[in-house]
Structure 1
């Protein structure tokens, strides 16, 4: 008779100036969790020492950084410790009290069911709740969501900056921890890395809760730093998925579409400037020679996007891992 053990669930809590809320967060974590990793990210309030002094939960393990590494660095430290201790699923919860630990079951359910490798919160699911979201935060998240769809390849996800997440060890152990962005871009960069692994990601509906915390999401950061990183990740993802690992019709559609749109735009622009300088209308034939490659190139680019949207990973890594272990010879 074969005996199976229940999956081990771990919670990772990055801590930075959260001493007012951390004990309440720890107390609200239910019995379904086996281990809790509190990561003191060089907190000026010494969150780690505070938890050691006031916490009585035997599940809590305090980890401390010698230098501040940002929320991403703290989460990855927790992931690595949990993987080393044999955790099967790792849930990331912030220590500021804005994420309800009662939702942990909702986040791990798709992973336990074998339907996903990674789950993340989505505060945009309930239309009634969206009205309570600050307008600037709503606009910023909408912009980031669009950029993240392009750069990560997960076209069916929204609210990319949502930090309430859960991940299966089969996906986490393949992550390049040394390359993932450690600060504000962490959640978005992680999605890009998961796509290159072929991991299945699902959104989990949750309410938007805002207390007295100060948002670090700035439009200037979206337009400058985040935009450059999204372009970088998009180029990397396209190269990895459409040229390095596989070739398809989409591998031809993208460069050909870009080339035709560029040539049509440059040709039309140059002749329009010449005609404007001479004070003459642009010839109809010239307009057609410019418009045709632009239209055809646009169609090719849309065809590439359609292929990319249809290529969102659907088979979880954990299923592939179980299949590989099942067919490997024993002894």
Structure 2
């Protein structure tokens, strides 16, 4: 379906679901990541007032289209449950019958942490408190985990299965998965609901006011250190995050979790492998493909393989400092 056809389909979805007239439907796609389509719907309500909603849509041309456990329906139901539990997340208004689209609240503020300026310390504390609350969320919140005693930790198997099915074998990724399988950490003292992509760029804020955690498609039950690894990943990929301990210290204080540097190192490696598998899945679904975007994810896995052998030079060269041994 071309972009204009998708626009018309989404206009009809919003108008039918919300009982309003759509005056504008604009598309924005993340130029860095491999996420789903994001649209902004400007509507005119019954009182004649203008209001914006966010519409997320799976057009079938992205890696999450191939990861069945990461569906739009799952994401929408999860966010809805978290919103009703009182967590700072966007409100969900509707999920399409075909499961390809959802309508959610457009939160105010911005997501670019580089623009936070002097508000960064207050925002990292508020973010840490929100993440700690997420990790304390009741286990009844819907999740999509597939891991078990024979599987890989967290949701790694959810990425590995479609990668094996749809992508050409890649020796670097395969070596990374072999290392992760051979070096699995012990089970966490408590499995929590993990955001999976937490950190700078994935929460909204206005000045020093934290508004909401966003982008939940990678959420799953697992080890809380997975989210600390995600914070590391986003801090040094996106930039602007500052000292990683400025994120870790308030989280540990707010959550009461034990700090596990070795666990964060393991899940940093896992995060790099996930990103590389997502890139390969993107290669399998998108056309045309810009081959230049696939080099960095593979290089990060290669750097992790060297790190596992005691060589940190490539990680250092790429701007990834050591995980602090202690807080």
Higher helix share: 1
TM-score in same-fold range (> 0.5): no
Please tell me the TM-score bracket, short chain as reference: under 0.3
TM-score by length of 2: 0.27
TM-score by length of 1: 0.27
Greater C-alpha Rg: 1
